[in-house]
Copies of this chain bind each other. A is one copy, B any other.
Amino acid sequence: MTPFKLSEEFLAEIEQLIADQKDTEILALLEEVHYADVAEVINELTKDEATYLIKLLDTVKTSDVLTELDEDIREAILASLSAKEIAEEISELDTDDAADIVAELPKEMVQEVISEIEDKGHAKDIVDLLRYNENSAGGLMAKELVKVNENWNVLTCVKEMRAQAENVRRVHSIYVVDDEGKLKGRLSLKDLLTTSTKTHISEVYIPKVDSVNVNEDPEEVARIMSKYDLEAIPVVDEIGRLVGRITIDDIVDVIKEEAEKDYQMAAGITQDVEGDDSIWKLTRARLPWLIIGMMGGIGAASIINSFQAVMIQYKILLIFVPLIQATAGNVGVQSSAIMVQGLANDTVKGEVVKRLLKEFMLGLINGLVLASIVLLISHFAFNTEYLVSATICIALMSVIIIAALIGTFIPVFLDSRGIDPAVATGPFITTGNDIFGILIYFTIAKIILGF
Protein backbone atom coordinates (compact mmCIF):
# COMPACT_ATOMS: atom_id res chain seq x y z
CA MET A 1 0.00 0.00 0.00
CA THR A 2 1.68 3.20 -1.12
CA PRO A 3 0.92 5.78 1.55
CA PHE A 4 -1.20 8.75 0.54
CA LYS A 5 0.82 11.78 -0.52
CA LEU A 6 -1.09 14.98 -1.20
CA SER A 7 0.11 16.29 -4.56
CA GLU A 8 -0.57 19.60 -6.31
CA GLU A 9 -2.33 17.68 -9.10
CA PHE A 10 -4.67 15.83 -6.78
CA LEU A 11 -5.60 19.05 -5.04
CA ALA A 12 -6.19 20.82 -8.33
CA GLU A 13 -8.33 17.91 -9.53
CA ILE A 14 -10.49 18.01 -6.40
CA GLU A 15 -10.90 21.75 -6.62
CA GLN A 16 -11.97 21.49 -10.25
CA LEU A 17 -14.46 18.70 -9.56
CA ILE A 18 -15.99 20.73 -6.74
CA ALA A 19 -16.26 23.78 -8.96
CA ASP A 20 -18.03 21.65 -11.61
CA GLN A 21 -20.12 19.94 -8.90
CA LYS A 22 -19.26 16.50 -10.31
CA ASP A 23 -20.47 14.66 -7.23
CA THR A 24 -20.20 11.06 -8.47
CA GLU A 25 -16.62 11.54 -9.53
CA ILE A 26 -15.65 13.20 -6.27
CA LEU A 27 -17.15 10.31 -4.32
CA ALA A 28 -15.33 7.79 -6.49
CA LEU A 29 -12.03 9.61 -6.11
CA LEU A 30 -12.26 9.85 -2.35
CA GLU A 31 -13.88 6.50 -1.64
CA GLU A 32 -10.71 4.63 -0.74
CA VAL A 33 -9.03 7.61 0.92
CA HIS A 34 -8.56 7.44 4.69
CA TYR A 35 -10.32 10.13 6.70
CA ALA A 36 -7.04 11.55 7.98
CA ASP A 37 -5.95 12.07 4.40
CA VAL A 38 -9.29 13.63 3.44
CA ALA A 39 -8.74 16.05 6.33
CA GLU A 40 -5.31 16.87 4.92
CA VAL A 41 -6.94 17.72 1.59
CA ILE A 42 -9.65 19.84 3.21
CA ASN A 43 -7.06 21.80 5.18
CA GLU A 44 -5.89 23.15 1.81
CA LEU A 45 -9.34 24.06 0.43
CA THR A 46 -11.31 27.28 0.81
CA LYS A 47 -14.11 27.38 3.35
CA ASP A 48 -16.81 26.99 0.69
CA GLU A 49 -15.05 24.10 -1.06
CA ALA A 50 -14.57 22.42 2.30
CA THR A 51 -18.20 22.80 3.32
CA TYR A 52 -19.30 21.45 -0.07
CA LEU A 53 -17.17 18.35 0.41
CA ILE A 54 -18.33 17.74 3.97
CA LYS A 55 -21.97 17.95 2.95
CA LEU A 56 -21.37 15.62 0.02
CA LEU A 57 -19.48 12.83 1.74
CA ASP A 58 -21.08 10.18 3.89
CA THR A 59 -21.50 11.16 7.56
CA VAL A 60 -19.60 8.09 8.73
CA LYS A 61 -16.52 9.44 7.00
CA THR A 62 -17.03 13.16 7.50
CA SER A 63 -17.46 12.82 11.26
CA ASP A 64 -13.93 11.40 11.54
CA VAL A 65 -12.64 13.95 9.04
CA LEU A 66 -13.97 16.76 11.24
CA THR A 67 -11.97 15.54 14.23
CA GLU A 68 -8.75 15.61 12.20
CA LEU A 69 -9.12 19.12 10.75
CA ASP A 70 -7.25 22.19 11.92
CA GLU A 71 -9.33 23.91 14.58
CA ASP A 72 -9.94 27.08 12.54
CA ILE A 73 -11.19 25.21 9.50
CA ARG A 74 -13.43 22.96 11.57
CA GLU A 75 -14.91 26.02 13.25
CA ALA A 76 -15.62 27.61 9.88
CA ILE A 77 -17.28 24.48 8.51
CA LEU A 78 -19.42 23.86 11.60
CA ALA A 79 -20.60 27.45 11.47
CA SER A 80 -22.17 26.72 8.08
CA LEU A 81 -23.93 23.51 9.16
CA SER A 82 -27.35 23.38 10.81
CA ALA A 83 -27.79 22.01 14.33
CA LYS A 84 -29.33 18.85 12.88
CA GLU A 85 -26.44 18.34 10.48
CA ILE A 86 -23.93 18.77 13.31
CA ALA A 87 -25.92 16.35 15.46
CA GLU A 88 -25.74 13.77 12.65
CA GLU A 89 -21.96 14.07 12.48
CA ILE A 90 -21.62 13.82 16.23
CA SER A 91 -23.81 10.73 16.39
CA GLU A 92 -21.17 8.85 14.40
CA LEU A 93 -18.31 9.76 16.70
CA ASP A 94 -16.96 8.16 19.85
CA THR A 95 -18.04 10.10 22.92
CA ASP A 96 -14.62 11.71 23.55
CA ASP A 97 -14.37 13.15 20.04
CA ALA A 98 -18.07 14.10 20.09
CA ALA A 99 -17.67 15.96 23.37
CA ASP A 100 -14.57 17.77 22.04
CA ILE A 101 -16.53 19.04 19.04
CA VAL A 102 -19.55 20.12 21.09
CA ALA A 103 -17.22 21.94 23.49
CA GLU A 104 -15.94 24.03 20.57
CA LEU A 105 -19.42 25.15 19.51
CA PRO A 106 -20.77 28.58 20.45
CA LYS A 107 -22.76 28.30 23.70
CA GLU A 108 -26.12 29.03 22.11
CA MET A 109 -25.67 26.12 19.67
CA VAL A 110 -24.83 23.46 22.25
CA GLN A 111 -28.33 22.96 23.65
CA GLU A 112 -29.87 22.76 20.19
CA VAL A 113 -27.32 20.32 18.78
CA ILE A 114 -27.62 17.99 21.75
CA SER A 115 -31.39 17.94 21.53
CA GLU A 116 -31.11 16.89 17.87
CA ILE A 117 -29.04 13.78 18.67
CA GLU A 118 -31.30 10.78 18.12
CA ASP A 119 -29.54 8.27 20.34
CA LYS A 120 -30.42 9.62 23.77
CA GLY A 121 -27.87 7.41 25.50
CA HIS A 122 -25.15 8.89 23.31
CA ALA A 123 -26.39 12.41 24.09
CA LYS A 124 -26.35 11.67 27.81
CA ASP A 125 -22.77 10.38 27.62
CA ILE A 126 -21.65 13.51 25.80
CA VAL A 127 -23.32 15.77 28.36
CA ASP A 128 -21.59 13.83 31.16
CA LEU A 129 -18.21 14.21 29.52
CA LEU A 130 -18.67 17.94 29.01
CA ARG A 131 -18.69 18.43 32.77
CA TYR A 132 -15.06 17.47 33.12
CA ASN A 133 -12.24 19.95 32.91
CA GLU A 134 -10.83 19.87 29.39
CA ASN A 135 -7.32 19.55 30.76
CA SER A 136 -7.85 16.40 32.81
CA ALA A 137 -8.24 12.65 32.37
CA GLY A 138 -12.00 13.20 32.38
CA GLY A 139 -11.65 15.60 29.48
CA LEU A 140 -9.63 13.05 27.49
CA MET A 141 -11.64 9.90 28.16
CA ALA A 142 -14.36 8.22 26.14
CA LYS A 143 -17.34 6.33 27.50
CA GLU A 144 -16.93 3.49 24.98
CA LEU A 145 -15.54 0.44 26.74
CA VAL A 146 -16.43 -3.15 27.45
CA LYS A 147 -17.23 -4.09 31.03
CA VAL A 148 -18.58 -7.18 32.69
CA ASN A 149 -19.84 -7.94 36.18
CA GLU A 150 -17.59 -10.03 38.42
CA ASN A 151 -20.44 -12.35 39.29
CA TRP A 152 -21.03 -13.60 35.72
CA ASN A 153 -19.64 -16.72 34.09
CA VAL A 154 -17.51 -16.67 30.95
CA LEU A 155 -20.35 -17.62 28.61
CA THR A 156 -22.45 -14.67 29.70
CA CYS A 157 -19.34 -12.52 29.47
CA VAL A 158 -18.63 -13.43 25.89
CA LYS A 159 -22.25 -12.81 24.88
CA GLU A 160 -22.32 -9.44 26.66
CA MET A 161 -18.95 -8.60 25.19
CA ARG A 162 -20.07 -9.34 21.65
CA ALA A 163 -22.99 -7.00 22.14
CA GLN A 164 -20.94 -4.18 23.69
CA ALA A 165 -18.00 -4.60 21.33
CA GLU A 166 -20.20 -3.46 18.43
CA ASN A 167 -19.75 0.11 19.64
CA VAL A 168 -16.15 -0.05 20.72
CA ARG A 169 -13.48 0.53 18.10
CA ARG A 170 -10.66 -1.20 19.86
CA VAL A 171 -11.04 -3.68 22.63
CA HIS A 172 -7.88 -4.18 24.65
CA SER A 173 -9.13 -5.32 28.00
CA ILE A 174 -12.55 -6.14 29.29
CA TYR A 175 -12.99 -4.35 32.58
CA VAL A 176 -14.52 -6.16 35.52
CA VAL A 177 -16.77 -4.18 37.85
CA ASP A 178 -18.81 -4.99 40.94
CA ASP A 179 -22.51 -4.32 41.49
CA GLU A 180 -21.82 -0.68 42.34
CA GLY A 181 -19.81 -0.13 39.20
CA LYS A 182 -16.47 0.00 40.98
CA LEU A 183 -13.49 -1.20 38.99
CA LYS A 184 -12.26 -4.56 40.29
CA GLY A 185 -9.92 -5.83 37.60
CA ARG A 186 -9.58 -6.78 33.95
CA LEU A 187 -9.67 -9.64 31.44
CA SER A 188 -7.60 -9.64 28.28
CA LEU A 189 -9.19 -10.48 24.98
CA LYS A 190 -6.47 -13.02 24.37
CA ASP A 191 -7.21 -14.75 27.69
CA LEU A 192 -10.91 -15.00 26.85
CA LEU A 193 -10.15 -16.61 23.51
CA THR A 194 -7.84 -19.15 24.99
CA THR A 195 -9.98 -20.07 28.01
CA SER A 196 -12.76 -22.65 28.19
CA THR A 197 -16.25 -21.10 28.20
CA LYS A 198 -17.39 -22.87 31.34
CA THR A 199 -14.96 -21.12 33.65
CA HIS A 200 -16.24 -18.57 36.16
CA ILE A 201 -15.08 -14.96 35.81
CA SER A 202 -13.79 -14.67 39.34
CA GLU A 203 -11.31 -17.45 38.59
CA VAL A 204 -9.80 -15.78 35.57
CA TYR A 205 -9.82 -12.04 35.92
CA ILE A 206 -6.68 -10.15 36.87
CA PRO A 207 -7.39 -8.13 40.01
CA LYS A 208 -4.43 -5.84 39.40
CA VAL A 209 -5.31 -3.05 36.99
CA ASP A 210 -3.68 0.36 36.47
CA SER A 211 -6.17 3.19 36.44
CA VAL A 212 -6.16 6.97 36.66
CA ASN A 213 -8.37 9.34 38.55
CA VAL A 214 -10.79 11.46 36.59
CA ASN A 215 -8.98 14.65 37.71
CA GLU A 216 -5.51 13.50 36.74
CA ASP A 217 -3.24 15.74 34.65
CA PRO A 218 -3.07 14.56 30.97
CA GLU A 219 0.74 14.72 31.06
CA GLU A 220 0.75 12.38 34.06
CA VAL A 221 -1.62 9.99 32.26
CA ALA A 222 0.76 10.04 29.28
CA ARG A 223 3.72 9.36 31.56
CA ILE A 224 1.99 6.36 33.18
CA MET A 225 0.79 4.85 29.89
CA SER A 226 4.20 5.31 28.32
CA LYS A 227 6.06 3.92 31.34
CA TYR A 228 3.95 0.75 31.58
CA ASP A 229 3.51 0.35 27.81
CA LEU A 230 -0.28 0.51 28.14
CA GLU A 231 -2.58 0.85 25.16
CA ALA A 232 -5.63 1.87 27.14
CA ILE A 233 -6.25 2.85 30.73
CA PRO A 234 -9.54 2.90 32.64
CA VAL A 235 -10.58 6.10 34.38
CA VAL A 236 -12.25 6.01 37.78
CA ASP A 237 -14.05 8.67 39.74
CA GLU A 238 -13.45 9.72 43.34
CA ILE A 239 -15.43 6.71 44.63
CA GLY A 240 -13.61 4.25 42.41
CA ARG A 241 -16.36 3.71 39.87
CA LEU A 242 -15.32 3.02 36.29
CA VAL A 243 -16.40 6.09 34.30
CA GLY A 244 -14.40 6.00 31.09
CA ARG A 245 -11.34 4.89 29.16
CA ILE A 246 -8.39 6.67 27.56
CA THR A 247 -6.75 5.03 24.55
CA ILE A 248 -3.14 5.31 23.43
CA ASP A 249 -3.92 7.21 20.22
CA ASP A 250 -5.26 10.12 22.28
CA ILE A 251 -2.18 9.96 24.47
CA VAL A 252 0.11 10.05 21.43
CA ASP A 253 -1.65 13.28 20.45
CA VAL A 254 -1.18 14.63 23.99
CA ILE A 255 2.53 13.79 23.91
CA LYS A 256 3.02 15.41 20.51
CA GLU A 257 1.08 18.55 21.43
CA GLU A 258 2.98 18.90 24.71
CA ALA A 259 6.30 18.55 22.88
CA GLU A 260 5.31 21.17 20.32
CA LYS A 261 4.08 23.52 23.00
CA ASP A 262 7.31 23.19 24.99
CA TYR A 263 9.41 23.71 21.88
CA GLN A 264 7.48 26.86 20.98
CA MET A 265 7.65 28.15 24.55
CA ALA A 266 11.40 27.75 24.48
CA ALA A 267 11.42 29.92 21.36
CA GLY A 268 9.31 32.58 23.06
CA ILE A 269 6.03 31.93 21.25
CA THR A 270 3.07 32.35 23.55
CA GLN A 271 0.25 30.52 21.77
CA ASP A 272 -0.05 27.35 19.80
CA VAL A 273 0.57 28.55 16.26
CA GLU A 274 1.44 27.04 12.92
CA GLY A 275 3.23 28.57 9.98
CA ASP A 276 -0.10 28.47 8.10
CA ASP A 277 -1.85 30.80 10.54
CA SER A 278 -2.70 34.40 9.72
CA ILE A 279 -0.08 37.11 10.10
CA TRP A 280 -2.23 38.67 12.78
CA LYS A 281 -2.37 35.46 14.86
CA LEU A 282 1.34 34.87 14.45
CA THR A 283 2.18 38.44 15.45
CA ARG A 284 0.01 38.19 18.55
CA ALA A 285 1.82 35.02 19.58
CA ARG A 286 5.31 36.33 18.90
CA LEU A 287 5.23 39.98 19.93
CA PRO A 288 4.93 39.59 23.74
CA TRP A 289 8.32 37.97 24.24
CA LEU A 290 9.92 40.23 21.64
CA ILE A 291 8.78 43.25 23.64
CA ILE A 292 9.99 41.68 26.89
CA GLY A 293 13.34 40.86 25.31
CA MET A 294 13.56 44.38 24.02
CA MET A 295 12.86 45.75 27.50
CA GLY A 296 15.76 43.63 28.68
CA GLY A 297 17.86 45.32 26.02
CA ILE A 298 16.71 48.73 27.21
CA GLY A 299 17.57 47.70 30.75
CA ALA A 300 21.02 46.66 29.63
CA ALA A 301 21.39 49.99 27.82
CA SER A 302 20.57 51.89 31.01
CA ILE A 303 23.05 49.89 32.99
CA ILE A 304 25.83 50.50 30.50
CA ASN A 305 24.91 54.16 30.41
CA SER A 306 25.16 54.40 34.18
CA PHE A 307 28.74 53.19 34.15
CA GLN A 308 30.02 56.42 32.65
CA ALA A 309 33.61 55.56 33.53
CA VAL A 310 33.41 52.61 31.18
CA MET A 311 31.99 54.73 28.43
CA ILE A 312 34.82 57.23 28.76
CA GLN A 313 37.86 55.45 30.03
CA TYR A 314 37.57 51.73 29.31
CA LYS A 315 35.76 51.64 25.99
CA ILE A 316 37.55 48.41 25.17
CA LEU A 317 35.32 46.63 27.68
CA LEU A 318 32.30 47.51 25.59
CA ILE A 319 33.38 45.47 22.61
CA PHE A 320 33.17 42.32 24.69
CA VAL A 321 29.59 42.92 25.77
CA PRO A 322 28.15 40.62 23.05
CA LEU A 323 30.52 37.88 24.15
CA ILE A 324 29.49 38.09 27.80
CA GLN A 325 25.81 38.17 26.93
CA ALA A 326 25.83 35.40 24.35
CA THR A 327 27.68 33.11 26.74
CA ALA A 328 25.40 33.90 29.68
CA GLY A 329 22.40 33.26 27.47
CA ASN A 330 23.67 29.96 26.07
CA VAL A 331 24.73 28.57 29.44
CA GLY A 332 21.44 29.58 31.05
CA VAL A 333 19.37 27.96 28.31
CA GLN A 334 21.38 24.72 28.44
CA SER A 335 21.03 24.42 32.21
CA SER A 336 17.35 25.14 32.20
CA ALA A 337 16.64 22.73 29.30
CA ILE A 338 18.25 19.87 31.22
CA MET A 339 16.36 20.72 34.39
CA VAL A 340 13.04 21.13 32.58
CA GLN A 341 13.43 17.68 31.01
CA GLY A 342 14.47 16.21 34.34
CA LEU A 343 11.30 17.57 35.92
CA ALA A 344 9.14 16.29 33.05
CA ASN A 345 10.61 12.79 33.29
CA ASP A 346 10.43 12.88 37.06
CA THR A 347 14.13 12.09 37.42
CA VAL A 348 15.03 15.00 39.68
CA LYS A 349 13.52 13.48 42.80
CA GLY A 350 14.16 16.30 45.23
CA GLU A 351 17.91 16.36 44.62
CA VAL A 352 17.88 20.03 43.76
CA VAL A 353 20.81 21.00 45.96
CA LYS A 354 22.87 18.17 44.46
CA ARG A 355 22.02 19.45 40.98
CA LEU A 356 22.94 23.02 41.89
CA LEU A 357 26.34 21.89 43.17
CA LYS A 358 26.86 19.96 39.95
CA GLU A 359 25.96 23.04 37.90
CA PHE A 360 28.40 25.07 39.95
CA MET A 361 31.17 22.61 39.08
CA LEU A 362 30.08 22.57 35.42
CA GLY A 363 30.08 26.36 35.38
CA LEU A 364 33.55 26.36 36.85
CA ILE A 365 34.98 23.90 34.35
CA ASN A 366 33.27 25.38 31.29
CA GLY A 367 34.11 28.85 32.56
CA LEU A 368 37.80 27.99 32.90
CA VAL A 369 37.93 26.59 29.37
CA LEU A 370 36.14 29.54 27.82
CA ALA A 371 37.96 32.15 29.90
CA SER A 372 41.33 30.69 28.87
CA ILE A 373 40.41 30.96 25.20
CA VAL A 374 39.19 34.52 25.67
CA LEU A 375 42.30 35.45 27.63
CA LEU A 376 44.53 34.36 24.76
CA ILE A 377 42.41 36.00 22.08
CA SER A 378 41.87 39.27 23.88
CA HIS A 379 45.56 39.54 24.61
CA PHE A 380 46.92 38.60 21.21
CA ALA A 381 44.17 39.79 18.88
CA PHE A 382 42.97 42.86 20.70
CA ASN A 383 46.11 43.76 22.62
CA THR A 384 44.26 44.41 25.87
CA GLU A 385 46.11 45.31 29.05
CA TYR A 386 46.50 42.54 31.58
CA LEU A 387 44.04 44.02 34.04
CA VAL A 388 41.42 44.42 31.33
CA SER A 389 41.95 40.82 30.14
CA ALA A 390 41.66 39.68 33.74
CA THR A 391 38.44 41.64 34.14
CA ILE A 392 36.90 40.09 31.06
CA CYS A 393 37.89 36.57 32.07
CA ILE A 394 36.77 36.82 35.67
CA ALA A 395 33.52 38.41 34.58
CA LEU A 396 32.99 35.65 32.02
CA MET A 397 33.55 32.93 34.59
CA SER A 398 31.26 34.57 37.14
CA VAL A 399 28.55 35.08 34.59
CA ILE A 400 28.78 31.46 33.46
CA ILE A 401 28.55 30.08 36.98
CA ILE A 402 25.66 32.32 37.94
CA ALA A 403 23.81 31.65 34.65
CA ALA A 404 24.17 27.90 35.24
CA LEU A 405 22.80 28.18 38.77
CA ILE A 406 19.92 30.44 37.79
CA GLY A 407 19.12 28.25 34.78
CA THR A 408 18.85 25.25 37.09
CA PHE A 409 16.96 26.98 39.84
CA ILE A 410 14.30 28.89 37.92
CA PRO A 411 12.50 25.81 36.46
CA VAL A 412 12.38 24.22 39.91
CA PHE A 413 10.98 27.41 41.38
CA LEU A 414 8.33 27.74 38.66
CA ASP A 415 7.39 24.09 39.01
CA SER A 416 6.92 24.47 42.76
CA ARG A 417 4.51 27.34 42.07
CA GLY A 418 2.52 25.23 39.64
CA ILE A 419 3.79 27.07 36.55
CA ASP A 420 4.96 25.02 33.57
CA PRO A 421 8.76 25.09 33.94
CA ALA A 422 9.21 24.95 30.15
CA VAL A 423 8.50 28.67 30.03
CA ALA A 424 11.89 29.13 31.70
CA THR A 425 13.87 28.05 28.66
CA GLY A 426 14.16 30.73 26.05
CA PRO A 427 13.55 34.46 26.21
CA PHE A 428 12.64 34.31 29.89
CA ILE A 429 16.15 33.18 30.80
CA THR A 430 18.05 35.07 28.11
CA THR A 431 16.39 38.39 28.95
CA GLY A 432 17.21 38.06 32.63
CA ASN A 433 20.75 37.01 31.74
CA ASP A 434 21.17 40.05 29.50
CA ILE A 435 20.57 42.31 32.43
CA PHE A 436 22.49 40.62 35.19
CA GLY A 437 25.30 39.69 32.81
CA ILE A 438 26.03 43.32 32.07
CA LEU A 439 25.66 44.23 35.73
CA ILE A 440 28.15 41.61 36.87
CA TYR A 441 30.56 42.46 34.07
CA PHE A 442 30.78 46.14 34.84
CA THR A 443 30.66 45.69 38.59
CA ILE A 444 33.67 43.37 38.42
CA ALA A 445 35.33 45.86 36.08
CA LYS A 446 34.71 48.58 38.60
CA ILE A 447 36.25 46.52 41.37
CA ILE A 448 39.30 45.35 39.43
CA LEU A 449 40.02 48.50 37.48
CA GLY A 450 39.10 50.70 40.38
CA PHE A 451 36.79 53.37 38.99
A interface with B by C-beta (< 8 Å) = 1, 3, 6, 32, 34, 36, 162, 165, 170-172, 189-190, 193-194, 208-211, 224-229, 231, 248-249, 251-253, 255-256, 259-260, 262-264, 266-269, 273-276, 279, 282-283, 286-287, 289-291, 293-294, 296-298, 300-302, 304-305, 311, 315, 318-327, 329-331, 333-334, 336-342, 345, 347-349, 355, 358, 361-362, 365-366, 369-370, 373-374, 377, 381-382, 425-427, 430-431, 434, 438
In angstroms, Cα B248 to Cα A172, docked, is 13
Q: Assess whether A267 is in contact with B301, with CB atoms less than 8 Å apart.
A: no
Q: Decide if A338 touches B382 in the complex (CB within 8 Å).
A: no
Nearest Cβ in chain B — how far from A413, in angstroms? 16
Contact A294 B208 (CB under 8 A): no
Q: Identify which of A286, A336, A347 gathers the most chain B CB atoms within 10 Å of its CB.
A: A286
CB distance from A129 to the nearest CB of B (A): 19
Apart from the given pairs A269-B337, A290-B334, A297-B324, 7 other A-B contacts in the complex at a CB distance below 8 Å = A226-B252, A264-B341, A291-B370, A294-B374, A297-B323, A315-B315, A321-B322
- Indicate if the CB atoms of A36 and B267 lie closer than 8 Å: no
Task: Find chain B residues with CB under 8 A from A252 CB.
Answer: 225-226, 248, 251-252, 255
CB-based contact B3/A224 at 8 Å: yes
Pairs A–B under 8 Å by Cβ, sample size 5: A1-B210, A279-B361, A289-B334, A294-B326, A326-B434
- Minimum CB distance partner of A194 in chain B: B162
User: Are B304 and A334 in contact (CB-based, < 8 A)?
Assistant: no
Residue of B nearest to A251 (CB): B252
Residues from chain B with a CB closer than 8 A to the CB of A248 are 231, 248-249, 252
Asked whether A330 and B427 contact (CB < 8 A) given A286-B366, A438-B322, the answer is yes
Give the Cβ gap from A6 to chain B, nearest Cβ, in Å.
7
What B residues does A434 contact at CB under 8 A? 322, 326
Asked if B279 contacts A373 (CB within 8 A), the reply is no
In Å, the complex CA distance between A326 and B394 comes to: 23
B348:A6 contact, CB within 8 angstroms: no
**In the complex, what distance in Å separates the CA atom of A252 from the CA atom of B227?**
10
A276: chain B residues at CB < 8 Å are: 342, 347
Q: A349 — which chain B residues lie within 8 A by C-beta? A: 6
Bound-state CA distance A397–B193 (Å) is 69
- Cα A326 to Cα B318 with chains together (Å): 16
> Which B residues are CB-close (under 8 A) to A268?
330, 333-334
Residue in A297, A342, A347 with the greatest tally of chain B CB atoms within 10 Å:
A297
Nearest CB on B from A76, distance (A): 18
Q: Is the CB of B431 within 8 A of A326?
A: yes
- Whether A323 and B298, one on each chain, are in contact in the complex, defined by CB atoms closer than 8 angstroms, is yes
Inter-subunit contact B226/A282 (CB<8 Å): no
Question: In whole angstroms, how far apart are the Cα atoms of A325 and B298 in the complex?
Answer: 12
